[in-house]
Chain A
Amino acid sequence: QKEVEQNSGPLSVPEGAIASLNCTYSDRGSQSFFWYRQYSGKSPELIMFIYSNGDKEDGRFTAQLNKASQYVSLLIRDSQPSDSATYLCAVNSGGSARQLTFGSGTQLTVLP
């Protein structure tokens, strides 16, 4: 069974700080990694994806991937109260079927 593990939190950071969200995965064959944001009572929305080792930046968000350690992280710089949400890590599964296995999510609260 392929697994994706995340710290459930909650994680609290002050406004303007860097929030660091972590995820580990069990399948060494995984190639594609995704971060979804889910506001309370809403559906998940894709914010970042990364395929290659290293960092990928998009605005205030940076995804980091280390395949050797089977570790992917999301950094949110200059955190805002509007970033308060649950962040779901997802990893490709199902071969060519383009399926995702989700972690249980980390709840982030940004304190004004």
Chain B
Amino acid sequence: EAGVAQSPRYKIIEKRQSVAFWCNPISGHATLYWYQQILGQGPKLLIQFQNNGVVDDSQLPKDRFSAERLKGVDSTLKIQPAKLEDSAVYLCASSLTGTWEQYFGPGTRLTVT
């Protein structure tokens, strides 16, 4: 079974530029999560999808971050414009509906200079 796929693995941008991350969850996993993990901290939930609907985006900085999962499968997370404090690893995770176990992708390491 293929795991959660994410791309790119690394991205370096200058502040005020935009960036997009892509995630393809495990086949059949209807629930998809985007997390931000700053160095030395635990993952922080940004947004949760159930199929193509948003369950919770209360911790997503909506003035600069946006996410979509239009067809209920893969998802994109965008930052526009980026700030220095957005430097982090962006993790995507997926799970089967009604289960607790979340499977994480390899993450995208973003550096904003």
Number of B residues near A (Cβ < 8 Å) is 22
Q: How far is the CA of A8 from the CA of B39 in the complex (A)?
A: 12
Tell me, yes or no, whether B14 is within 8 Å of chain A by CB. Answer: no
Q: How far is the CA of A50 from the CA of B31 in the complex (A)?
A: 21
Minimal Cβ-Cβ distance residue in B for A32: B100
In the assembled complex, the CB of B104 is this many whole angstroms from the nearest CB of chain A, namely 4
Task: Answer whether residue A68 sits at the interface, using C-beta atoms and an 8 A cutoff.
Answer: no
Chain A interface, number of residues (Cβ within 8 angstroms): 23
B-binding segment of A53-61, A70-78, A95-103: A95-103
* Distance A32 CA – B99 CA, assembled complex (angstroms): 11
Q: Map CB proximity to A onto B63-107 as digits: 1 under 8 Å, 0 otherwise.
A: 000000000000000000000000000010001001111101111
Q: Contact: B106 with A42, CB < 8 Å?
A: yes
Q: What residues on A are CB-neighbors of B24 within 8 Å?
A: none
B31 / chain A contacts, CB cutoff of 8 Å: 98
Query: What residues on B are CB-neighbors of A90 within 8 Å?
Result: 42
B20 contacts the other chain (CB 8 A) = no
> Assuming the A-B contacts A32-B100, A44-B43, A103-B42, are A98 and B106 also in contact, with contact meaning beta carbons closer than 8 angstroms in the complex?
no
- Nearest-neighbor residue (CB-CB) of B95 within chain A: A98
Residues of A within 8 A of B40 (CB): 8, 104
Are B44 and A102 in contact, with the CB atoms below 8 A? yes
Interface residues of B (CB under 8 A from A): 31, 33, 40-45, 48, 55-56, 91, 95, 98-102, 104-107
